[in-house]
Structure formats: structure tokens, C-alpha cells
Structure 1
Amino acid sequence: MSSHQQKSLHGKVALVTGSARRIGRESALLLASEGAHVVVHAKTSRDEIDAVADEIRAVGGSASTALADITDESQAQGLVDEIVAAHGRLDILVNNAAIRRETPFAQISLAAWREINSVIVEGAFLVTRAAIPHMVRHGFGRIVTIGGVSAHSGVFHRVHVATAKAALVGFTKALAVEFGEHGITANLVVPGRIGGNRSATSGAGGAFPGGGHLLVGHEGEPRNVAEFVRILALPAGSFTSGQTIHVNGGMYLP
């Protein structure tokens, strides 16, 4: 048996939405390092997802890429359909795609409110709904959704983001309850302050009560969060479901 076949996720297929950069990118790299075939996804960033897939393949991993607007029902369904047509299955779904704009509450338009919720909540719903039947059919599934500390601690100028991220808590718990008997787990990983370059849709990082004090004294890195995505996808994570897992350096204490 080859070393690749000995890896824990050999034979599994994973989709990481919004995986051109940061937490999504690191999650794709780590899942691939465990033997999964990873579909690297973005809405429009073709060059960036190609670079991530090339990085995976350069170290012997398996990856492909896909562009899709997951807020569009037909594109979300088509994304999953294409993966299953190519690989026969979809075992691991990481709902990472998000936008995190900063706007004072009184200035948030209805269009902006709906834009945030369409990506964070409806996008996760549409892709998960498309993926679930295939997980049920194989009696195995790992759904990991990326939350936001703003939903738990409160935040300035991100009421729309905090509301959308809070919805993911109930989303995760309900999935865990409904599909646990089919061998499917669902968990929410909640990052705190994560350093590095942010995308144009991420804002400045959010202003939190008390300044968002970190007990460990420094911001985290995308890989700190991605490590928990990896754990939840591995056999070691099989007894964890319906949980909200905070990875925030002590910024927020539940």
C-alpha cells in the first residue's frame, strides 16, 4: 500500500468553499495532506484557486478547482453535481465562503443586509442541501462550517455579519440532530482575530468590545483554525457533532 493510501482521508472527497485564500486555503491544504481529494472553490478567483490546487499537487496531493456563485441555487447544485459526477461522492464539506463588510447599523441598506446573509447563510444552506443526499447514500459525512466570534461577543459596525454568523449556530445543531443517524457530523468552528492579509470583502478585522483582548497576546494564523477543520474531518473527530468550537486565543470565553 502506498503512503498516500495509508492516510486517514484516502478515498474521501472534500469541498472547501471560498478556498482561494486564508482559512479556506489552509483547510484545503490540510485536508489534502491527509489524503482527501480536495475541490478548491471560489466565485471568480480562477488564478488563486489554480495556485492552491497546484500547491497541493506539488507535494503529491490530489486537487481540482471549481468556480461557482453559491448564492445562486442552480450554481450551488451544479457545483456539487459536477463533483459527484467526476468523483462518485462528496464526503467532507467545509462551508467557509463569507463576506464581512463593516457598516454602522443605521447605514446598512436592505440590499447590503441581504448580500451578507445570502453568502454566509443561504450559500451554506444551498451547498449543504445539495451535498447531504450523497453523504446519506454513503453513510458518511463531515460538515464543518466556519462561524464568527462577532456572533458571540458582539461587534461594532457588523450587525449584519454577526446576525448571519449567529444563524450558523442553529444551522449546525439542527443538521447534527437530523443526520447523525446517517453517519454525518456537523460542527461550527469559530475563529477569533486572525492576522495576515484580508480580502477586499473582509474589512479591517472588526472592532470588538474591550478591544478584543487576546489572552495569548497575539493574533492567530489561518492554519490555527484550519487545524480544527482537519481534526473534525479525521476519525479522531467522529465523536464530535453539533458543537461550536471557539479558536480565538482567549478573546471570547463561552
Structure 2
Amino acid sequence: MVNLNEKVAIVTGGAKGIGQAITRELAKHGVKVVVNYNSSVGSAEKLIAELKEAGSEVYAVQADVSNLEQSRKLVEETINHFGRLDILINNAGITRDKTFKKLSEEDWRTVIDVNLNSVYNTSSAALPHLLESDAGRIINISSIIGQFGGFGQTNYAAAKAGLIGYTKSLALELAKSSVTVNAICPGYIETEMVKEIPEDIREKLISKVPQRRLGQPEEIARGIIYLCQDGDYITGQQLNINGGIYM
């Protein structure tokens, strides 16, 4: 078991939703967390104030991780502030759901850039530092949609499926090092994004889940802790936290 106290993590998209739950859970285990955000400045400031008041060491960095230079800046600021990097959580993501006939090139490229290309940007900047850690971790937040597809989500599904292939391939390359690479594939999780779905459609989604409920962001966060703390011999895997909807 890895002692997470004093380890340093970056959580992209770490101010809201699943990212916020991950940030809180890491901080609870003594991890020093860099909360990355792009436009959610209010949420980031509120979260940082809350965690600092609780005694956690946290730091917010604004960066658009779909941009390579800003991703490098994010890692540089982390090293300058905390002096090391042990854990990279690639959580940043957006949706632009439309049927393919209505999907614009901008809708396609924006989702691919934020959900998939960002992972190259952050990982390439972070890897030299992660290799210096005795327990480096890269954890990519994919999705059940990347496993079985989604109507009106060709862009999102392509990005999240790409994350799974990326995870397996990078895990192979790094298998002889101290760095593990894994993906978590959440099912339908009770976030602001899901709450915006019309109630009748949301109920239909829940009816398809064998456990008959939405997952909670904290359940994804506990999966992160498991991989960080107990995951020395786990690499290239998909941890499916989905209530049994995809097996």
C-alpha cells in the first residue's frame, strides 16, 4: 500500500462535478492537490477556500488543457509550487451532443481537443516528473459511452474510446517503470451534466441500470484512491464503476 500523504496530484477539470469529488478525496488522504480549471473560476476559488480551511494543501491553476503550452504551464506551476508530481488525473471533459447529421466540424474538434488531445498535452509535460516518483500514477477518466457508444455522441464516444486505447498503449510502454496508467469508466453519475437531462429521459436511463440508481461522484473518487494507493500491480486496465449497466 502506497502512503499518499505528501504526494502531489494534478486534477484537470478539478473544480466541478467528478473532478471536485476527486480533489476532495485526494486531499482527505493527505495528497497535495493542484486543482486545474479553465472557466470555472468561482467553483475553483470556493473549493480551494473550503479545503484550505480544513487544513489541506491545495493550489488552483487556470489552464486550457486542450492547449499544449498551457498544459506545460500547468505542470511547471505545479513543480514550482510543490516541488514534485506523483499523480496525474486526466478528468477534463465536455460534451457537444448532436446527431452526426447536425454535428459541425467545430463540435467535433472541440470535444476531441478537450477530451482526448488534452491527455497528450498533460501527460507529455508531466511524464518526466512522474518517472521520478516511486509510485507515479496516470489515471484517465473515460466513460461508459466510450465502451458501448451513445446516440448523438459520436464525438464524445470517439474521444472516450480513444482514451481507453491510449491508456493500454502507454501502460505497455511504461510497464517497466514505476508509473502505472489506468482508466476509470464511469456509468451514469449524478453530476450537474446529468441533472440537466429531462426527468423522463433520466428515469429511462436509471431503469437500464441493474442497481436502479445513478452513481455518485464520490464513488468515482474512491476508485481513484484505490488505484493510487493499492494499484502497484494494476496497469492498462479499465475500472468500470457503473452499477452493472456494462459488464
Question: CA separation in 2, counterparts of 1:179 and 1:171?
Answer: 12
Are 2:81 and 1:86 equivalent residues in the alignment? yes
Spell out, residue by residue over 1:96-122, the C-alpha distance to the aligned partner (whole angstroms, 9 max, x if none): 000022101111111111100000111
Q: Shift of the alpha carbon at 1:197?
A: 2.1
Offset at residue 219 of structure 1 (A): 0.7
1:113 matches 2:108? yes
- Helix, strand or coil for the counterpart of 1:177? helix
Q: CA deviation at 1:153?
A: 1.7
Matches of residues 45-56 of structure 1 in structure 2 within 5 Å? Answer: 45-56=40-51
- 1:247 aligned to which of 223, 241, 244: 241
Query: Per-residue displacement from partner, 1:152-202 (whole Å, max 9, x unpaired)?
Result: 122110011001100001111111111122200011000101114228xx9
Q: Which runs of 5+ in 1 are unaligned?
A: 1-6
Q: How many residues align?
A: 242
> Cα distance, 1:76 vs. partner?
0.5
Q: Which amino acid counterpart does residue 229 of structure 1 have in structure 2? A: I
Q: Is contact 1:140-1:182 (8 Å) kept?
A: no
CA contact (8 A) 1:139 1:182 kept: no
1:180, 1:65 → 2: CA distance?
Answer: 31
Report what 2:232 is aligned to: 238
* TM-score, structure 1 normalization: 0.90
Match of 2:145 in 1: 150
Aligned with 2:184: secondary structure? strand
**2:192 counterpart SS class:** coil
CA-to-aligned-CA distance 1:46-66 (integer Å, 9 cap, x gap): 221111122222222110101
Residue in structure 1 matched with residue 216 of structure 2 by the alignment: 221
Matches within 5 A, 1:107-186: 107-186=102-181
What residue identity is the alignment partner of 1:177? Answer: L
Aligned to 1:70, which of 54, 65, 72? 65
Query: Would you say the 8 A contact 1:101–1:203 is kept in 2?
Result: no
1:41-90 deviation digits (Å, cap 9, x = unpaired): 10021221111122222222110101001111111101101111221111
Separation of aligned partners in 1, 2:107 and 2:166: 22
If the length of structure 2 is used for normalisation, what is the TM-score?
Answer: 0.92
> Which residue pairs with 2:24 in the alignment?
29
Whether the 8 Å contact between 2:135 and 2:232 is mirrored in structure 1 is: no
C-alpha displacement at 1:211, in angstroms? 4.6
CA RMSD of aligned residues (A): 2.0
Residue 129 of structure 1: CA displacement?
A: 0.7
SS at match of 1:137: coil
Q: Say yes or no: does 1:8 pair with 2:3.
A: yes
- Tell me: CA distance 1:238–1:145, structure 2 relative to 1, closer, same or farther (3 Å): same
In 1, Cα distance between the equivalents of 2:192 and 2:54?
Answer: 24
The secondary structure found in structure 1 opposite 2:175 is helix
Structure 1 position 11, deviation (Å):
2.0
SS at match of 1:82: helix
Offset at 1:9?
A: 1.2
Residue 216 (structure 2) pairs with residue 204 (structure 1): no
